[in-house]
Amino acid sequence: MNAQSEVYEHHGTESDRDRLQILDEDGNVLPGAEEPSLSDEELLAMYEALVLARRFDERAISLQRQGRIATYAPMTGQEGSQVATSYALDEDDWLFPTYRDHAAKHVHGMSLSSLLAPLRGYRDGYSIPDDVNVMPEYIPIATQIPQAMGMAWGFKLQGQTDHAVMCHFGDGATSEGDFHEGLNFAGVFDVPVVFVCNNNQWAISTPRERQTKSETLAEKAHAYGIESVRVDGLDPLAVYRATREAIRKAKRPGPNEGRPTLIESVQYRFGAHTTSDDPSVYRDGEAAEWYRKRDPVDRLAGYLDGRGLLTDERETVIEARVEKRIETAIEEAEAIEAEPDDIFEHVYAEMPERLERQRERLRDLREKYGDDAFSEVLE
Amino acid sequence: MNAQSEVYEHHGTESDRDRLQILDEDGNVLPGAEEPSLSDEELLAMYEALVLARRFDERAISLQRQGRIATYAPMTGQEGSQVATSYALDEDDWLFPTYRDHAAKHVHGMSLSSLLAPLRGYRDGYSIPDDVNVMPEYIPIATQIPQAMGMAWGFKLQGQTDHAVMCHFGDGATSEGDFHEGLNFAGVFDVPVVFVCNNNQWAISTPRERQTKSETLAEKAHAYGIESVRVDGLDPLAVYRATREAIRKAKRPGPNEGRPTLIESVQYRFGAHTTSDDPSVYRDGEAAEWYRKRDPVDRLAGYLDGRGLLTDERETVIEARVEKRIETAIEEAEAIEAEPDDIFEHVYAEMPERLERQRERLRDLREKYGDDAFSEVLE
Amino acid sequence: MSSYADTVREHVEAAGEGPGPDTGHDAVRETDADGPEALTLVEAVCDGLYSEMRRDEDVVVLGEDVGKNGGVFRATDALYEAFGEDRVIDTPLAESGIVGASIGLALSGMRPVAEIQFMGFVYPAFDQLVSHASRMRSRTGGRHGVPMVVRMPYGGGIRAPEHHSESKEAFFAHEPGLKVVTPSTPADAKGLLTAAIRDPDPVVFLEPKLIYRAFRETVPEQPYEVPLGEAAVRREGTDVSVFTWGAMTRPTLIAAEELAEEGIDCEVVDLRSLSPLDADTIVESFRKTGRGAIVHEAPKTGGLGAEIATTIQEEALLYQEAPIRRITGYDAPIPLHALEDYYLPQAARIHDALRETVEF
Amino acid sequence: MSSYADTVREHVEAAGEGPGPDTGHDAVRETDADGPEALTLVEAVCDGLYSEMRRDEDVVVLGEDVGKNGGVFRATDALYEAFGEDRVIDTPLAESGIVGASIGLALSGMRPVAEIQFMGFVYPAFDQLVSHASRMRSRTGGRHGVPMVVRMPYGGGIRAPEHHSESKEAFFAHEPGLKVVTPSTPADAKGLLTAAIRDPDPVVFLEPKLIYRAFRETVPEQPYEVPLGEAAVRREGTDVSVFTWGAMTRPTLIAAEELAEEGIDCEVVDLRSLSPLDADTIVESFRKTGRGAIVHEAPKTGGLGAEIATTIQEEALLYQEAPIRRITGYDAPIPLHALEDYYLPQAARIHDALRETVEF
Ligand SMILES: Cc1ncc(C[n+]2csc(CCOP(=O)(O)OP(=O)(O)O)c2C)c(N)n1
Ligand SMILES: Cc1ncc(C[n+]2csc(CCOP(=O)(O)OP(=O)(O)O)c2C)c(N)n1
Ligand SMILES: [Mg+2]
Ligand SMILES: [Mg+2]
């Protein structure tokens, strides 16, 4: 199988396949398409979140190049879907993100600096504030799926109808057993969960076609007796509509409706898998072209422009505000200091004696040899 | 969810759903149905294998009651499908059975006594003869699926077009991650494997409806871009036809055909899950009724009778021969003797020193204390 | 010799008032209205589940065949009838799903008790256990604990089919963030299970199925905790300390009695908690006797016996008068049942090794 | 001190003639036509794969991103170009599928070398490894071995994200039927990998990614085996024996040099094979020095350090002059990277513990 040629073909076919779309590639509302009911303020806020996401991504990549953060997974091209899905959540809903869902996390309440903290090696960014319903990012692929399902199931069993759970994962994740087991449970127990498959066409170097022979990822839902929808993931309005509907159904299903939904949000990974990855080794840039013409930021801008909402002045204000927020976040993240005792904290609710003694030992060693002795493990 | 009421309903719906059938409940060929091309001898041999399976099952259950074998998983009601699927194999094809596929193993070459050996606690029954292409039975559910797929893939990669691989598993197995990963690989790499899902409607006490919300198990194949067929698993001729076709396709796929197939063989577990199980705790007998009326042994008998092949005399000969073979098999199995050194054999191709010393130690202890000292671990 | 019943009584007293006598659980325990009654280990597990489910409605039981069927060993017998299908839940056949779902249930505020039908079938869920349940608290900086219990029958000796007799407790004990316990008596079964369910952290609860029905013992009807992390000295002695757990406790005690007749006085310590280990009790016992042995079913290499022996030599080398012997399963898969008695430690083997240790 | 290069040379000689010089592998190693050349550890892995694939066409490589991309660490760099998509196979993202398929490939007569992208992601495949690959030979009474290698980078120190720095070799070493090896030098990487691929049994091949590119060493171009099951004495000494493996070998050797200046003479044994353990070399070294320590990255409790210490006290208690110390990861998940240097053993910690051991 030749990955490149297939991908090359595949934006052609992708574009033809049935998927929910509201905006055309320039941001005009497609004939017959119905816009979601969002106020001007909401639309502008969503746009600002998109701009923030794009700038954050650019900045994070450059921070990584400077050695100020570790390996980073960019989201350019995918931020439209991230922002829109999180906008569609109610505050009480829970979000299970992956390592790539920076914007989704931020929109649902995580501070920008907390996104950077783990990239600087601190778990502060995983220590979600009490009033934010966002789980730490999941790195082992697909493992969040049964957990998100389980949390949603728990809310249902407890009669807490005010919580739905949204679970993100990639196209690659659909090949893992945990995807299968999680979706199957969701169907059997009819739980209020929304699965969002961010199909960016690549799992590192593995193209979507090599992940599975099924035509779409959405249709996999059928095997679990749950509903699915395929949406243009570069169209923030379409994503918002699809997600909002799934969230509604999860919490207040109609007569013959099931609670869970699988959303396949069809996107493209514009850039590298992570800052350690070099996509030129395994793909050429052609497929990206098609998608780049449908850039979610530009498209929403076009839409707002068409509605007369996006003046130059407003753009300038947004850019400045975004710049400032990112700057502050970096400062905050860079101010975090290492606390070696943290290694031993929270392993258990109560620290076992053996661990206490290990902590003592490390304290003694630091006293005796100084922190410099720990500054670098030899390569 | 009320398991009983659902199962009660479900033979009604089951019967309506589309599944390949050749014989009606009395063994008459259905109008328009095409019989597979099997000679009289082949049909009679198949029938004898069915009778053997039925008697073996009865006998094994009684041996277990007498404490002569350990826990046994009966196959009554399912032997029609087992015998027919194995009949459809070519000798060079490989079989991956479960703990319930006694008849399938036997028809593909395993001696009857080797079926009993593991039940008496000896791995002799797992030590498949060199000229028999049957893997030892798989107990951890669904784990054989990626392995069978991998073996088939290996044959394809090596250009060995004379081997297909048949992999058995139950309805319960479709919920495991390994089912998903194995079928997905089969689709992506287009390997010569035939998956046979023996849907006997129960996974111990769990009814098929609680396993998954998909309407049929066959349709799960869609998620992997592979073909599937649903067949009346109590109709040996229909099963034979479906399997034979899948085996053909695996080894010699036509222009637009994929190699792998998922066969859902719709059956019913007439008896207990195993001899340790008491189904009356979790199901009533009503659903079984519908299926018992379609008993595969009676049905094939009816068919042969209709073709004038089954005289009383022949029935008597068959019964006597079957009886004798089972008797001999029991004698053989009961003649196997314990060889404690076996514990240490074949852990590795070459025995590590540490293991050699452990073997010495056990020999010493046996010498010192006699085998009686090992006769029973205390309860 | 410290009376076992005494220990239990202490714990019951320490626990204070339970939720009062219960009349609705006749199917689980045929209650003698006046007080406690003798249960087998598996009945005590069921009783423990029952009393915690009654006390705390966040406790749910889930797994394969745990509902209507009451579990393949009847460990959840009659719970379905008592608490209904929303609290005693038959799941699809998928262990990673079961444990992953349990993590999610715990995150939502419940206290799931998952059953894995046999230890040999826990591996599909290994990732969820060791990569997630174990570290949810530390990765979230303390916000999210995962108060869940994963119960599973383990060990050999019941003439079970392949993959049904595994004893791989060491896998779990090597994972920081998990607790691992196993009872050797009915009363401990209930008390440890109660403590496990109430514990804020994930607990792997191993049930020695060989002794599921081996003997009965008085098990208080009131809920009570046997604290996690505390070993029990089952027999006091002065010549050699034997450390064991689960089903191996009984043959060890038998060997100890045999040796007593030869004038060798064994101390038998039932660890109960395999993680965290009760190093204090272990080392204290060893300091007294200066000789030690470990009995476990698991393969020798990399088994917990190694951890115990190493801890002892770290803490009490100067007391050590003989090598610490390991009487364990061999470094081979546990064989099909015709040979399992040769594989598992039993009294003769234990006896022999202990004598050697004392005579060293 | 036995020269490491000598050892390699011996093995090469013992292996006899290889398949002759190769000219087509320039992308994997820019061959100096006249002889061997210096490779990093990860290049040596790639070279080992290359030379075995060339020698034996049954060898196939499969995993996530091993093909076109050449592996996320480039361990399979250029193999796709050299051998084509049927022998260097990009799989779907599914570890149980990868290992389960590999078992099947081995059963069909091939010699699969599967890559798991990081050790932290092997757990979905744990069942296929410990319940199947490990026991296929014994359950089939010897008919079916599973000659396969499962490679995976392991260990910390490279500032990787969560779940990318695990060191859980003890899980695999506790499973009878599996072999577990890890190299600490480029030449060993190629030789052990070659032996692993040729071995008739399944081998878990752990690659210490911290030293993937840490240094170069002459690696013969001819295929050669470093036999499984044999430890290497990296530094001879008389005062204390230190047992270690993988990336921890280097800080241990550094600590040993530092201690030499204080007049303490350390023997450093690189185990290379973690299962089966080379108990003879371990015990022999210990008998000579009477003092010992183990250095590993994995959490202390239940780590392989315990097995080594216990084996020593079983075989050589009478030589033991001090407790055997374990310098290891703590009983906590390895932290995110800002703190990992505090978690992993490094020279100062090793130094400190060894001095204590000698002064005991
Ligand atoms: C279980 C597991 N296996 C392998 C990896 C290594 N890995 C990290 S990201 C990735 C690709 C994921 O692809 P996809 O699910 O499509 O998500 P994307 O990165 O494209 O957003 C892989 C293989 C992992 N993190 N977890
Ligand atoms: C991984 C795993 N989990 C649990 C079990 C215990 N178990 C044995 S048979 C069985 C039910 C299997 O049902 P199904 O797949 O429908 O096959 P059937 O027994 O009906 O033929 C279960 C749960 C097992 N053997 N393996
Ligand atoms: Mg992707
Ligand atoms: Mg079934």
> What is the domain-level CATH number for residue C299?
3.40.50.920
Chain D residues touching residue A176 (CB < 8 angstroms)? 93-95, 124
Q: Other C-beta atoms within 10 Å of B371: how many? A: 13
Q: Test B377 with C70 for CB contact under 8 angstroms.
A: no
Whether ligand 2 lies within 6 angstroms of the CB of B172 is answered as yes
**Distance between CA atoms of residues B295 and B234, nearest Å:** 6
Strands (E), B143-268: 165-170, 193-199, 202-203, 206-207, 227-232, 261-266
CB-based burial of residue B280 (10 Å sphere; 0-12 exposed, 13-18 middle, 19+ buried)? Answer: exposed
3-state secondary structure D203-217: EEEEEEHHHCCCCCE
Q: Are residues C117 and C140 in the same domain?
A: yes
From D180, D195, D219, the end of a domain falls on D219
Q: Test D339 with A342 for CB contact under 8 angstroms.
A: yes
| Catalytic center residues of A | 269, 273, 282
From C219, C252, C282, the end of a domain falls on C219
| A171's tokens | 């196209």
Mean pLDDT in residue range B250-276: 97
Distance from CA of B152 to the nearest CA of C (A): 23
| Ordered strands of the B193-199 beta sheet | B94-96, B165-170, B193-199, B261-266, B227-232
pLDDT of residue C22: 43
Q: Test B377 with C337 for CB contact under 8 angstroms.
A: no
Q: Test C162 with D139 for CB contact under 8 angstroms.
A: yes
Ligand approaching nearest to the C-alpha of B98: 2
What are A54's strand-pairing partners? none
pLDDT of residue B287: 85
Residue B28 is given by DSSP the state P
Helices (H), chain C: 4-15, 41-55, 79-83, 95-107, 126-127, 136-139, 169-173, 186-198, 249-261, 279-289, 304-316, 340-343, 347-359
pLDDT of residue A376: 61
Q: Are residues C35 and C173 in the same domain?
A: yes
| DSSP letter string, C221-247 | SS-----TT--EEEE--SSEEEEE-GG
Task: Give A126's pLDDT tier (boundaries 50, 70, 90).
Answer: confident
Q: Test D161 with A71 for CB contact under 8 angstroms.
A: yes
pLDDT of residue B376: 61
pLDDT of residue B3: 32
**Distance between CA atoms of residues D108 and D105, nearest Å:** 5
Q: Test B354 with C301 for CB contact under 8 angstroms.
A: yes
Nearest to A21 by CA among A106, A97, A80: A80
ipTM over 0.90: yes
Distance from CA of C257 to the nearest CA of A (A): 33
Q: Which residues surround ligand 3, an ion (CB under 5 A)?
A: A 170-171, 200, 202-203
Q: Which of B118, B123, B206 sits opposite C64 (nearest CB)?
A: B206
Q: Count of domains in chain D?
A: 2
pLDDT of residue B179: 99
Q: Is B379 on the interface with C (CB under 8 A)?
A: yes
The set of chains that have 3 or more CB pairs under 8 A with D is: A, B, C
C151 has a pLDDT exceeding 50: yes
pLDDT of residue A11: 38
Mean pLDDT in residue range B80-109: 98
Q: Test A346 with C142 for CB contact under 8 angstroms.
A: yes
Contact B19, B232 (CB under 8 A): yes
Q: Which of C58, C141, C145 sits opposite A123 (nearest CB)?
A: C141
Q: Are residues C116 and C152 in the same domain?
A: yes
Longest dimension (CA), chain D: 59
Which of A126, A127, A151 would you mutate first to test chain C, the one with the most C CBs within 10 A? Answer: A151
Q: Is residue D226 part of a domain?
A: no
| C10's tokens | 């202490």
Ligand approaching nearest to the C-alpha of D122: 1
C17 has a pLDDT exceeding 90: no
**Residue percentage of chain A with pLDDT more than 70:** 94
* Tens digit of each residue's pLDDT (9 = 90 or more) over C159-193: 999 999 999 999 999 999 999 999 999 999 999 99
| Structural Rg of chain C based on CA atoms | 20
**Distance between CA atoms of residues D19 and D111, nearest Å:** 18
Nearest to A374 by CA among B1, D197, C88, D339: D339
Nearest to C128 by CA among A169, A144, A196: A144
The amino acid that residue B307 corresponds to is R
C253 has a pLDDT exceeding 70: yes
* Tens digit of each residue's pLDDT (9 = 90 or more) over C254-303: 999 999 999 999 999 999 999 999 999 999 999 999 999 999 999 999 99
Question: Between residues 11 and 70 of chain A, which touch chain D (CB distance below 8 Å)?
Answer: 70
Q: Are residues D243 and D117 in the same domain?
A: no
A1 has a pLDDT exceeding 80: no
Chain B residues touching residue C348 (CB < 8 angstroms)? 365, 369, 373-374
Best residue among D73, D91, D95, D117 to mutate for probing ligand 1's pocket (most ligand atoms within 8 Å of CB) is D117
Q: Are residues D118 and D144 in the same domain?
A: yes
Contact A1, A210 (CB under 8 A): yes
- The number of C-alpha atoms within 13 Å of C275 and in the hemisphere containing its C-beta is 29
Q: Are residues C175 and C201 in the same domain?
A: yes
> Which numbered atom of ligand 2 lies nearest the CA of B140?
26
> Which numbered atom of ligand 1 lies nearest the CA of D93?
23
Q: Which of B210, B340, B352 sits opposite C90 (nearest CB)?
A: B210
From C161, C196, C219, the end of a domain falls on C219
The amino acid that residue B91 corresponds to is E
Query: Which of A279-288, B348-357, C297-306 has the weakest average pLDDT?
Result: A279-288
A16 has a pLDDT exceeding 70: no
Chain C, nearest residue to D275 by Cα:
C301
Q: Are residues D196 and D135 in the same domain?
A: yes
* Tens digit of each residue's pLDDT (9 = 90 or more) over C344-360: 999 999 999 999 999 99
SS3 A348: coil
The set of chains that have 3 or more CB pairs under 8 A with C is: A, B, D
3-state secondary structure chain D: CCCHHHHHHHHHHHHCCCCCCCCCCCCCCCCECCECEEECHHHHHHHHHHHHHHHCCCEEEEECCCCCCCCCCCCCCCHHHHHCCCCEEECCCCHHHHHHHHHHHHHCCCEEEEECCCHHHCHHHHHHHHHHHHHHHHHCCCCCCCCCEEEEEECCCCCCCCCCCCCCHHHHHCCCCCEEECCCCHHHHHHHHHHHHHCCCCEEEEEEHHHCCCCCEEECCCCCCCCCCCCEEEECCCCEEEEECHHHHHHHHHHHHHHHHCCCCEEEEECCEEECCCHHHHHHHHHHHCCEEEEEEEECCCCHHHHHHHHHHHHHHHHCCCCCEEEEECCCCCCCHHHHHHHCCCHHHHHHHHHHHHHC
Task: Give B227's pLDDT tier (boundaries 50, 70, 90).
Answer: very high
Distant-in-sequence, close-in-space partners of B72: CB < 8 Å, separation ≥ 6: B60, B61, B63, B64, B119, B274, B275
Query: Which of B124-133, B158-167, D1-10 has the weakest average pLDDT?
Result: D1-10
C20 has a pLDDT exceeding 70: no
Residue A30 is given by DSSP the state P
Q: Is residue D140 part of a domain?
A: yes
Classify domain A3-335 at the CATH topology level. Answer: Rossmann fold (3.40.50)
Q: Which of A150, A184, A348 sits opposite C104 (nearest CB)?
A: A150
pLDDT of residue B286: 85
What are A95's strand-pairing partners? A134, A166
10-residue averages of pLDDT along chain D (360 residues): 38 38 46 66 98 98 98 97 98 98 98 98 98 97 96 96 97 98 98 98 98 96 97 98 97 96 97 98 98 98 98 97 98 97 94 96
**Distance between CA atoms of residues A265 and A200, nearest Å:** 8
Mean pLDDT of chain B: 93
Contact A265, A239 (CB under 8 A): yes
Q: Is residue D121 part of a domain?
A: yes
> Which numbered atom of ligand 2 lies nearest the CA of B200?
20
Contact C155, C297 (CB under 8 A): yes
pLDDT of residue B377: 53
Query: What's the domain range around D49?
Result: 4-219
Mean pLDDT in residue range C4-9: 38
Best residue among B197, B204, B209 to mutate for probing ligand 2's pocket (most ligand atoms within 8 Å of CB) is B204
**Distance between CA atoms of residues C148 and C114, nearest Å:** 8
Q: Count how many residues are written for chain C.
A: 360
Q: Test D64 with A206 for CB contact under 8 angstroms.
A: yes
Chain B, nearest residue to A184 by Cα:
B212
* Tens digit of each residue's pLDDT (9 = 90 or more) over A136-170: 999 999 999 999 999 999 999 999 999 999 999 99
Mean pLDDT in residue range B334-339: 94
Chain C residues touching residue A140 (CB < 8 angstroms)? 127, 131-132
CATH 3.40.50.970 in chain B, residue ranges: 3-335
C52 has a pLDDT exceeding 90: yes
For β-strands D240-244 and D292-299, DSSP reports them as: parallel
Q: Are residues C38 and C160 in the same domain?
A: yes
Q: Which of C126, C174, C303 sits opposite D126 (nearest CB)?
A: C126
Distances, alpha carbon D229 to alpha carbons D140, D179, D182, D276, D277, in Å = 24, 9, 11, 6, 6
pLDDT of residue A127: 80
Please give the model's pTM, rounded to 2 decimal places. 0.95
Contact A184, A224 (CB under 8 A): yes
Longest dimension (CA), chain A: 74
Mean pLDDT in residue range A80-106: 98
SS3 C202: coil
**Distance between CA atoms of residues C331 and B348, nearest Å:** 11
Report residue A173: phi and psi, to 5°.
-60, -25
| B79's tokens | 């032997």
Q: Is residue C140 part of a domain?
A: yes
Handedness of CA B144, B149, B153, B155 (dihedral sign): positive
Q: Are residues D147 and D292 in the same domain?
A: no
